[in-house]
Structure 1
Amino acid sequence: MRRVALVDYGKLELQENCESIQALKPGTVKIEVTACSICGSDIALYHGKRSLENERYFGHEFSGIVIDAGDGANGIKKGMRVASELSRACGHCWNCRNGLPNYCKSMNDALLPGGFSEETLVLNTPEYSFISPIPDAIDDITATLLEPANCAYHAVRQANIKHGETVVVFGMGPMGLIAARIIKSMGVDVVVGVDKSQARLEKIRQLGFVDVVDSNDENWQEQILERCGAEGADVIIELTGALPVLQSAFQVVRRGGRIVVGSVYSGFADTVELLPIMRKELTIIGSKGPYPHLKTDGTSAAVDILVKLQDDLKQLISVYDYKDALSAFDDMMSGSAIKTVIRFCK
């Protein structure tokens, strides 16, 4: 079995002939991983902003084929194509009872060793599951976007966007781009993306599915007001994790506006002026994905979103074979690629 292993902070290894997972733990299924995309949280773990001691898995945005269905809960069968996302929570723990099913369990309890391996165990019980079946309409590479699409959809839902409102998304990484594209698909006319990476901005302009502003420009705030109106944007979605960007969000949101924070900050906010929260009567909303977004028939709403938007979203992906996995991480960290996917299939 092959895997991309994070052996220490800042040190990745391609490991060949790893021991195959022989026994299933109760309530798990075994997945033969086809492909796994690199998330910003994987990069944070690489840089030591998350704890290797606390996290048992590496890679959580993957697609693959069920090679052992375990108990077969939730209709999962051997040979089924699946992708990772939080698709089921128990419904009766404290978090679920209080409207927080995304906190039902940690991914530490759901994945081992994770998606950067040719095989992984995934929790799938009647009360909790971290996989969803994927239709033939989605290819294995695009299916790796299911989990980030789930997270982006949660941020959009937290924003509670109304007809006629204007939206600014800070951070045109994968999450920001997927969120912006979901918002556009809802019929929202003014959706503005903000970023400072020249390579990324050029790529997004070529794709053409969201208007963008370069935050390096001296008049970038004026550009936002030109698009959103003199009072500022109705809704800000902040997906960079950079404190100066949060400060900028306070500046360009209108009085009574809403700011959804779906990014992970690694520092304290002692450099951010908090007075606008009171002066503008702002609503600040957190967004922690993934979340079990289910339709009334119990299937995944995020799968439907991915099917609908895949022609645009697959353009964000750069594919690397397993042997080039280290380059995939380098390109993701440098910003030369928007979303990198490591392909394991032989």
Structure 2
Amino acid sequence: MRRVALIDYGKLELQNHWEGVGQLRLGTVKVNVSACSVCGSDIALFKGNRSFTEERYFGHEFSGVVVDAGDGANGIAPGTRVASELSRTCGQCWNCLNGLQNYCKSMNDALLPGGFAEETLVLNRPDYSFISSLPQEIDDVTATLLEPTNCAYRIARQANIIPGDHVVIFGMGTMGLIAARILRGMGADIVIGVDNNNARLEKIRQLNLLDVVDSNAPDWLEQIKEMVGDKGADIVIEATGVVSVLKRAFEAVRPGGKIVVASVYHELAGTLELTPIMRKELTMVGAKGPFPHRKTDGSSASLETLVNIQDDLKKLITVYDYKDALRAFEDMMSGDAIKAVVKFN
């Protein structure tokens, strides 16, 4: 078995003779991983911004084939093509009963060792599952974007836009770009992306995905207001995790507008001026994915969204063979890749 192992902060190792996951644990299935994409939280763990000792999984955006279905909960059988997604929660714990199904369990409980390995165990029980079965019309590489699409769907739902709204998104990583695509589908009139990475901005322009503004430009705010109006945007989404960018979100949003915080911050706010929250009468809301977005027939709304927008999302993906996994991380950190996917099989 092969895996990409994080052996210490800043140190990845390609292990070609890993022993594998062994026997199933109660309530799990075994998945042969086809591909796994690199998430910003994987990079945060790599950099030491997340706890190496507290997180027991590595890689959570993956696709593959079930080789041992355990007790076959939720219709999962050997040979089922699946991708990672929080698809089912218990509905009975305090979090579920209070509308916070995304807090039902930790991914530490759901994945071992995670998607950067040729096989992983995944929790799949009648009361909790972290996988969804895949339709034939989506390939294994694109399917790795199901979990981030699920998270972006949560961002869009928390934004709760009115058709015709003007939206500004700070952070043109995968999450920001998928959220932009979903929000346009929900009726946003204008969606503008803001970023400071020139390589990423140029790629987005070349792909003609959406209008973007370079936050390094002295007139970045004026550029935004030329497109959304002098008062500012109706909705601003902060998807960078940088405190100084949250300050810019206060500047870009209109009075009475909403800011959706879709980031994990690894620093204290320090001297951040909070007066605009009161002066502008802003609404601020967090968006923590993943979340079990289910349609009334029980199917995944996130998966349907991914299938519908997959042609656009394929433009974001750069595929790397397992042996080039270290480069995949480097390219994500430099901005040379918008979404890096490591392919095992």
The verdict on a shared fold, with TM-score over 0.5 as the criterion, is yes
Find the aligned partners of 2:318 and 2:128 in 1 and give their Cα distance: 32
Question: So what's the TM-score if we normalise by structure 2?
Answer: 0.99
Find the aligned partners of 1:57 and 1:21 in 2 and give their Cα distance: 12
Shift of 1:213: 0.8
- One-letter amino acid matched to 1:332: M
Is 1:220 the counterpart of 2:196? The answer is no
Find the aligned partners of 1:243 and 1:126 in 2 and give their Cα distance: 40
1:204-215 equivalences in 2 (<5 Å) = 204-215=204-215
Is 1:80 the counterpart of 2:76? The answer is no
CA contact (8 A) 2:165 2:187 kept: no
Shift of 1:209: 2.2
Give the aligned partner of residue 4 of structure 1.
Answer: 4
- One-letter amino acid matched to 2:270: D
- One-letter amino acid matched to 2:32: E
Find the aligned partners of 1:41 and 1:330 in 2 and give their Cα distance: 14
1:1-346 equivalences in 2 (<5 Å) = 1-345=1-345
Find the aligned partners of 1:60 and 1:111 in 2 and give their Cα distance: 8
Shift of 1:187: 2.9
Find the aligned partners of 1:317 and 1:325 in 2 and give their Cα distance: 14
CA RMSD of aligned residues (A): 0.6
Secondary structure in structure 1 of the residue aligned to 2:125: coil
Find the aligned partners of 1:338 and 1:75 in 2 and give their Cα distance: 34
- One-letter amino acid matched to 1:16: N
Find the aligned partners of 1:124 and 1:281 in 2 and give their Cα distance: 43
CA contact (8 A) 2:44 2:50 kept: yes
Deviations 1:199-255 (A, max 9, x none): 111110111121111111111101111111111100001100011110000011011
- One-letter amino acid matched to 1:144: T
Shift of 1:154: 0.2
Note the residue ranges of structure 2 that are not aligned, 5 or more in a row: none
Deviations 1:17-57 (A, max 9, x none): 11122210000000000000000000000111111110010
Find the aligned partners of 2:281 and 2:134 in 1 and give their Cα distance: 43
CA contact (8 A) 2:164 2:187 kept: no
Find the aligned partners of 1:52 and 1:8 in 2 and give their Cα distance: 7
- One-letter amino acid matched to 1:298: G
Find the aligned partners of 1:141 and 1:270 in 2 and give their Cα distance: 41
Deviations 1:81-100 (A, max 9, x none): 00001000000000000000
Find the aligned partners of 2:253 and 2:92 in 1 and give their Cα distance: 38
Find the aligned partners of 2:3 and 2:344 in 1 and give their Cα distance: 9
Deviations 1:269-323 (A, max 9, x none): 1131100001111111000000000011111101100100000001100000001
- One-letter amino acid matched to 1:223: Q
Shift of 1:334: 1.0
- One-letter amino acid matched to 1:61: E
Secondary structure in structure 1 of the residue aligned to 2:309: helix
Aligned residues: 345
Find the aligned partners of 2:85 and 2:255 in 1 and give their Cα distance: 36
Secondary structure in structure 1 of the residue aligned to 2:162: coil
Deviations 1:170-206 (A, max 9, x none): 1000000000011112232211000111111111011
What percentage of residue pairs aligned between the two structures are identical? 69
Find the aligned partners of 1:108 and 1:202 in 2 and give their Cα distance: 37
Secondary structure in structure 2 of the residue aligned to 1:147: helix
Shift of 1:63: 0.2
Shift of 1:150: 0.4
Find the aligned partners of 2:22 and 2:199 in 1 and give their Cα distance: 44
Note the residue ranges of structure 1 that are not aligned, 5 or more in a row: none
Secondary structure in structure 2 of the residue aligned to 1:124: strand
Query: Segments of 4+ in structure 1 off by > 2 A?
Result: none
Find the aligned partners of 2:203 and 2:187 in 1 and give their Cα distance: 23
Shift of 1:9: 0.5
- One-letter amino acid matched to 1:305: T
Deviations 1:128-154 (A, max 9, x none): 000001111110000000000000010
Find the aligned partners of 1:343 and 1:176 in 2 and give their Cα distance: 23
